[in-house]
């Protein structure tokens, strides 16, 4: 499902032009893994496994149009054409984004990895940077792993960071999104494609996505 034009997806944003920056994956495996993640009884080991499985489905969608390098290979029978990724960089937003990283590494073995550390101020919900380590991103396809697109502050900050390091083609991988975050990203970075498993109803008074799945980092690492 791609949201475009005038959307009536949720009452809070009736008539707001979301454009074409959000794609919600409609696949049985995605829905299955999302259900496991939403279930409050899912323990951390199973939660991590489901996050890995769901992320794999997001990566497949996100890399549909990533450029490939063509080269010659030898089969047992003859020479033929082969294809490979040449410059893909994954950037998990710490710490919850780490739960998505293993799936990216397994799917794209030669991917490079940068890190963007940001904490959310619990009172203002504003992002506060505490760590950043990025390779040269010139001519790279950058996959930012930010599981929860709530207010959009952390993802917008991460996109600013990778663009300042030379990135021109950026895709965000998200598990769950809220209208407020999608709106923020469309305003700040309309060129960034968002690939997600869900577009949820709203944020609550504590800036958590509802129905959502709770705190992704806490559920991944058992720090509830």
**pLDDT tens per residue, range 6-55:** 233 444 443 344 456 899 998 999 999 999 999 999 999 999 999 999 99
| Given the residues 31, 38, 201, 218, the one annotated as active site | 218
| Given the residues 52, 95, 120, 201, the one annotated as active site | 120
Q: Are strands 79-84 and 69-74 parallel, antiparallel or unpaired?
A: antiparallel
**Is 123 domain-assigned?**
yes
**Is 23 domain-assigned?**
yes
| Given the residues 2, 35, 124, 223, the one annotated as active site | 124
b or e along 161-181 (b: 16 or more beta carbons within 10 Å of the residue's beta carbon)? Answer: bbbebebebbbbbbbbbbbbb
From CA 186, how far away is CA 78, in angstroms rounded?
49
pLDDT at res. 183: 93
Q: Which residue has the tokens 């033929």?
A: 80
Whether residue 59 is predicted with pLDDT greater than 70 in this model: the reply is: yes
Q: Please confirm, yes or no, whether 120 is among the known catalytic residues.
A: yes
From CA 118, how far away is CA 66, in angstroms rounded?
27
Between 167 and 117, the higher pLDDT residue: 167
Whether residue 61 is predicted with pLDDT greater than 90 in this model: the reply is: yes
Q: What is the pLDDT of residues 117-156, one digit of tens each?
A: 877 666 666 677 778 889 889 889 999 999 999 999 999 9
pLDDT at res. 118: 77
CATH number for position 43: 3.40.50.2020
Q: Please confirm, yes or no, whether 215 is among the known catalytic residues.
A: yes
Q: Please confirm, yes or no, whether 11 is among the known catalytic residues.
A: no
**Is 175 domain-assigned?**
yes
pLDDT at res. 131: 80
| Mean pLDDT across 52-79 | 94
**Is 54 domain-assigned?**
yes
Q: How many domains does the chain have?
A: 1
From CA 158, how far away is CA 35, in angstroms rounded?
27
pLDDT at res. 71: 95
Percentage of residues of the chain with pLDDT beyond 90:
71
From CA 3, how far away is CA 78, in angstroms rounded?
46
The parent domain of residue 128 ranges over 2-66+85-221
């Amino acid at each position: 499902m791609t949201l475009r034009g005038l959307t009536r997806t949720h009452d809070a944003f009736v008539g707001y032009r979301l454009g074409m920056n959000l794609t919600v994956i409609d696949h049985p495996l995605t829905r299955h893994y999302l259900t496991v993640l939403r279930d409050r009884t899912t323990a951390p080991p199973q939660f991590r496994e489901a996050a890995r499985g769901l992320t794999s489905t997001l990566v497949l969608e996100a890399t549909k149009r990533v450029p490939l390098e063509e080269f010659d290979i030898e089969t047992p029978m003859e020479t033929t054409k082969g294809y490979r990724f040449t410059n893909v960089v994954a950037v998990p937003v710490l710490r919850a984004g780490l739960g998505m990283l293993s799936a990216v590494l397994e799917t794209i073995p030669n991917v490079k990895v940068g890190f963007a550390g940001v904490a959310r101020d619990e009172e203002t919900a504003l992002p506060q940077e505490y760590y950043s380590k990025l390779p040269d991103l010139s001519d790279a396809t950058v996959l930012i792993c930010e599981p929860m697109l709530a207010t959009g502050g952390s993802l917008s900050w991460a996109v600013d960071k990778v663009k300042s390091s030379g990135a021109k083609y950026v895709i965000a991988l998200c598990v769950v999104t809220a209208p407020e975050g999608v709106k923020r990203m469309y305003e700040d970075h309309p060129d960034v494609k968002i690939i997600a498993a869900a577009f949820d109803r709203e944020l609550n008074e504590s800036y958590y996505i509802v129905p959502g799945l709770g705190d992704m980092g806490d559920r991944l690492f058992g720090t509830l």
